[in-house]
Amino acid sequence: MPGDSQVAFALAIAAGAFAASVSVLVIAAAVRAWRRWRQARIARVEVSWRQALGQAAADPSTGALAPISWIEFPDFLLLWNRMRRVLPGDGAANTAELLRRHGLDERALRLLRFGTLRSCLIAMATLGHLRYERAWPRLERLSRGRGPVTSFAAARAVLRIEPRRGLEALSHAILQRADWPVARLGSVLAELGPATVTPTLTTLLVSRPRGGLDRVVKLARFGDRNRIAPIMRGWLSATQDPNLVMAALDYVDDPQELMWAMEAARHPEWRVRMAAARALGRIGAAAEIPALVELLKDPVWWVRYHAAQAVAGLRGMTPEELQVVRETARDNFAADMLAHAFAELPIRRRRIFG
Amino acid sequence: MIRALLWFFIAYFIVAYGGRVLLLLTGVPALLRGLALRPFNDMPAPYSGFEPPVSVIVPASGDIATVIASVGTLLELDYPQYEIIVVCDDGAPGGLAALQEALQLQPFPEALWRRIPSGEVRTVYQSFLHDHLRVLDKEGFGRADALNAGINASRYPLICAIDPGLRVQREALQRLSEPFLEDPATIACMSHMRLDGAGALPRSLFRVLQIVEALPALVFRRVGWDALRSALPMPGDIVMLRKDVVVEANGFNAHSECEDTELALRLHRALRARGDRYEMRFLADPVAWTAGHQSTLAAIGPHRRWQHGFAQALRRNAALLTTGLARRPALPFMLFFESWGAAIEVAGYAFVIAMWAAGLIPAATAGAFLALAVSLGFLVSATALLLETLSTDLYPGLQQLARLAIVAVAENLGYRQLMTFARAAALAPRRRPTA
């Protein structure tokens, strides 16, 4: 018969597990109670914050804030960050004035030193929007930190405070920091606008750095196309790197550059051939049909698809001429793909013209 | 001998349930970090133009009215560029005609690219009302085959299978695609659908029971696996996948009963063998909602299917034990505790009850064993409730916590054991129905 030791052991574990469960539930209850208390407290004061911010949005010299405690401060800043996005006209700038008047910029900077991750992120966003110069050194140091979330939030704030200086300071990080997603960088650059970001982008593109060029090429779309395009097109004669050639082909928009597209149409890399097909569709005319028909026989579906789209969208082609191209396509792949592209034409036109 | 077996079962329960609690706790830092970032996630995200376009594939099975309603919801998704491909196979009789009428479909001369094997696509239809909506009419060989056909017709680099009948959040695609933007090595991102009723718990005790059951098993345990970079999709997940890796892996396995999990395991195996860096992410915040099961009997079926399919998928990908994943604790844990675990647990209960009935162990020993099993189960549920409080907090307030806690006790006094029995039964070999 199994002895008492097993019973004792099993019961001890069961009792321990039960006690741990109750403790865990008590913690959950405490967290919920604290959260409720805090929400109620914030809800009470938020009414007066909204009122003050609303008044200041209309007239920066009006609106007064009652003292804000440390517990409530991050929530106030969060409310301001949210409100400023939807305030019309000078509303956001006017409310920023209210914050400055109450010394909340300096207080946000202190929050950066002593706050939790949540508070720090809110403080960084605030300091950036307030364009608080005194926060620059601290934020710049934080932007060099290892954590991707904090460093990127700091970089974003730096760029908001002084965009050009910020871009200069961060250009190395833009290239090298793979943990800063290109999509997020793109949002920041779009916010800054082409006039601000183009000088940095052109400098980086011209220098063709060994690491991170692919990131800059992707971000180039946020610069001034007229200034970016000549640099990119210059790569067509200077490099064989498929990624660069492909990127450069997207900037080809002059029929005089047809020779590059024709050459790229024979490139061993299928993505380059696909970019060539797109370029031929953009700048080509009826004379480019033989090259596009060759691309229609390509073993890769995407090359055929873009070649067919290019044929369907060629300048100066009448529907009858397009029909002739389709009927004379002897290759089955080509004929199917042309039928597909021609059927898509009305849909594409609807998308473009509404 | 009896004593040794009893020790084995006691040790097994402690390790299995202790492991689950540890796994739940592993996810705490990620949940807290998510909580810190939440104020920013709530703000509308400006689109940067880098969002990869997504092909949403809807396998149209079952009630066609539900399919049409689901397509209506999907057309409202908030995402810069996506297409919807409804795959209508013979599993939805009369479905095509209804779809044709509701969506104004016209035959389209699609140059289909058959990259992965799938049943014959008879006709491709384009909706006249919605430019980004197409419908495939194909031979019926089940969900996996429908998804493969959808992948063949898809034009975008990310695919997302969404079954009809779910209430999908407008920003679902945006949230699922975010990990792909954050880290280009991401190949999959999954989120589990939750039961309807966020904010207030459903009145039905059985529905609350399903919530309490799902929190540790389907949500927070996978937050832990995600922290350990070993998350796997489970039934009821919405999964977004990078199409190129799916095509390279030859698509979904039409012979699998758990095709999403099987594909994920296959991808783990292939990419680890190749030494590639990749990520499969899990989002704790739900992106879709479902009505859940109506009865206990209805809940047993999916449990059995999942258990059988999961065991089958693990067997097929057993090579993972000898390749890279073995260096991580995921696969051995899943094999011993998730796959075979149900059978071992049932054996434990059966052994103790049989020995007690035969008079070979005293009632005190049997009672102590059952108390151990119940209290360890309760600890897992309670820990999941704490994580729910710390993270999504979908059912806020002390009253709802009290209700969840009471149901968590009830869940461990019969319901969990019933589901374990059903899962153990599903492990028995069975004949496949012939096609």
pLDDT of residue A16: 96
Say how far apart CA A58 and CA A88 lie, in whole Å: 10
Among residues B162, B226, B165, which one has the least CA distance to residue B195? Answer: B165
Q: Model confidence over B343-395: pLDDT tens digits?
A: 999 999 999 999 999 988 899 999 999 999 999 999 999 999 999 998 878 88
Nearest C-alpha in A relative to B7: A6
Q: Which two tokens stand for residue A168?
A: 């200069």
DSSP-derived letter for residue B167 is E
Say how far apart CA B328 and CA B321 lie, in whole Å: 10
Say what the ipTM of the complex is: 0.86
Q: Smallest Cβ distance to B397: which of A32, A181, A347? A: A32
Q: What percent of chain B has pLDDT over 70?
A: 94
Nearest C-alpha in B relative to A3: B3
Taking only residues 20 to 49 of chain A, the set having a beta carbon closer than 8 angstroms to any beta carbon of chain B reads 20-22, 24-25, 27-29, 31-33, 35-36
Q: How does residue B45 score in pLDDT terms, banded at 50, 70 and 90? A: low
Q: Model confidence over B92-121: pLDDT tens digits?
A: 667 888 888 888 999 999 888 889 999 999
Locus of tokens 């397009």 = A322
Locus of tokens 């574990």 = A13
Per the CB < 8 Å rule, is A6 touching B110?
Answer: no
* Strand, helix or coil for residue B122: strand
Nearest Cα of chain A lies from the Cα of B157 at a distance, in angstroms, of 12
From chain B, the residues in CB contact with A116 under 8 A are: 36
pLDDT of residue B140: 82
Tell which of B13, B155, B386, B394 to mutate to test the A interface (max A CBs under 10 Å). Answer: B386
Q: Smallest Cβ distance to A10: which of B10, B40, B48? A: B10
Nearest Cα of chain A lies from the Cα of B267 at a distance, in angstroms, of 24
Per the CB < 8 Å rule, is A339 touching B50?
Answer: no
DSSP-derived letter for residue B216 is I
From chain B, the residues in CB contact with A349 under 8 A are: none
User: Exposure string (b/e) for B104-139, b if CB count within 10 Å is 16 or more?
Assistant: ebeebbbbbbebbebbebeebbbbeebebbbbbbbe
Q: Does the CB of A304 have a partner CB in chain B at under 8 Å? A: yes
Nearest Cα of chain B lies from the Cα of A258 at a distance, in angstroms, of 28
Cβ atoms of B409 and B289 within 8 Å: the answer is no
pLDDT of residue B434: 45
From chain B, the residues in CB contact with A186 under 8 A are: 48-50
Does B142 score more than 60 pLDDT?
A: yes
Burial zone of B240 (CB within 10 Å; 0-12 exposed, 13-18 middle, 19+ buried):
buried
More confident residue, B212 or B236: B212
Per the CB < 8 Å rule, is A117 touching B110?
Answer: no
Q: Model confidence over B270-291: pLDDT tens digits?
A: 888 888 889 999 998 889 888 7
Nearest C-alpha in B relative to A27: B386
Q: Does the CB of A7 have a partner CB in chain B at under 8 Å? A: yes
Among residues B200, B388, B379, B386, which one has the least CA distance to residue B284? Answer: B388
Nearest C-alpha in B relative to A30: B398
Taking only residues 59 to 78 of chain A, the set having a beta carbon closer than 8 angstroms to any beta carbon of chain B reads 78
Per the CB < 8 Å rule, is A2 touching B382?
Answer: no
Tell which of B50, B183, B391 to mutate to test the A interface (max A CBs under 10 Å). Answer: B50
Distance of CA B238 to the CA centre of its chain: 7
Per the CB < 8 Å rule, is A17 touching B379?
Answer: yes
Q: How far apart are the first and last CA of chain A?
A: 83
Query: What residue type is A213 in one-letter code?
Result: L
Q: Which two tokens stand for residue B261?
A: 């999990």
Q: How does residue B157 score in pLDDT terms, banded at 50, 70 and 90? A: very high
Q: Which backbone phi and psi does B85 adopt, to 5 degrees?
A: -120, 110
From chain B, the residues in CB contact with A218 under 8 A are: 50
Task: Kindly give the residue spans of alpha helices, DSSP state H, lying in A193-318.
Answer: 194-207, 213-219, 225-238, 242-249, 258-264, 270-283, 289-295, 301-312
> How many Cα atoms are found within 13 Å in the side-chain-facing hemisphere of B98?
17
The two beta strands, B186-192 and B279-283, are: parallel
Task: Using alpha carbons only, give the angle A326, A329, A335 rounded to the nearest 5 degrees.
Answer: 70
pTM of the model: 0.87
The percent helix, strand, coil of chain B (3-state, each to 5) is 55, 15, 30
Say how far apart CA B337 and CA B328 lie, in whole Å: 15
Among residues B407, B127, B384, which one has the least CA distance to residue A24? Answer: B384
Among residues B59, B24, B363, B420, which one has the least CA distance to residue B223? Answer: B24
Q: Which backbone phi and psi does B192 adopt, to 5 degrees?
A: -90, 140
Q: Model confidence over A193-207: pLDDT tens digits?
A: 999 999 999 999 998
Does B324 score more than 80 pLDDT?
A: no
Q: How does residue B91 score in pLDDT terms, banded at 50, 70 and 90? A: low
Which contacts of B397-403 are long-range, i.e. CB under 8 A and separated by 24 or more positions?
B397/A32, B397/A36, B398/A29, B398/A32, B398/A33, B398/A36, B400/B200, B400/B201, B401/A25, B401/A28, B401/A29, B401/A32, B403/B201, B403/B208
Q: Which two tokens stand for residue A278?
A: 């797109």
Among residues A114, A126, A193, which one has the least CA distance to residue A161? Answer: A126
Nearest C-alpha in A relative to B157: A302
Which pLDDT tens digits describe chain A residue by residue (354 residues)? 445 888 899 999 999 999 999 999 999 999 999 999 999 999 999 999 999 999 998 888 887 888 898 889 999 999 999 998 888 888 889 999 999 999 999 999 999 888 888 899 999 999 999 999 999 999 999 999 988 889 999 999 999 999 999 999 999 999 889 889 888 899 899 989 999 999 999 999 998 888 888 889 989 999 999 999 999 888 888 888 888 899 999 998 888 888 999 999 999 999 999 999 999 999 988 888 889 988 998 989 999 999 999 998 888 777 777 777 777 776 777 888 888 888 887 776 666 555
For residues B61-71, average pLDDT: 87
Per the CB < 8 Å rule, is B131 touching A183?
Answer: no
Does B327 score more than 70 pLDDT?
A: no
Q: Which two tokens stand for residue A103?
A: 């010394």
Per the CB < 8 Å rule, is B109 touching A336?
Answer: yes
Q: Which backbone phi and psi does B256 adopt, to 5 degrees?
A: -95, 145
From chain A, the residues in CB contact with B388 under 8 A are: 28
Burial zone of B255 (CB within 10 Å; 0-12 exposed, 13-18 middle, 19+ buried):
middle
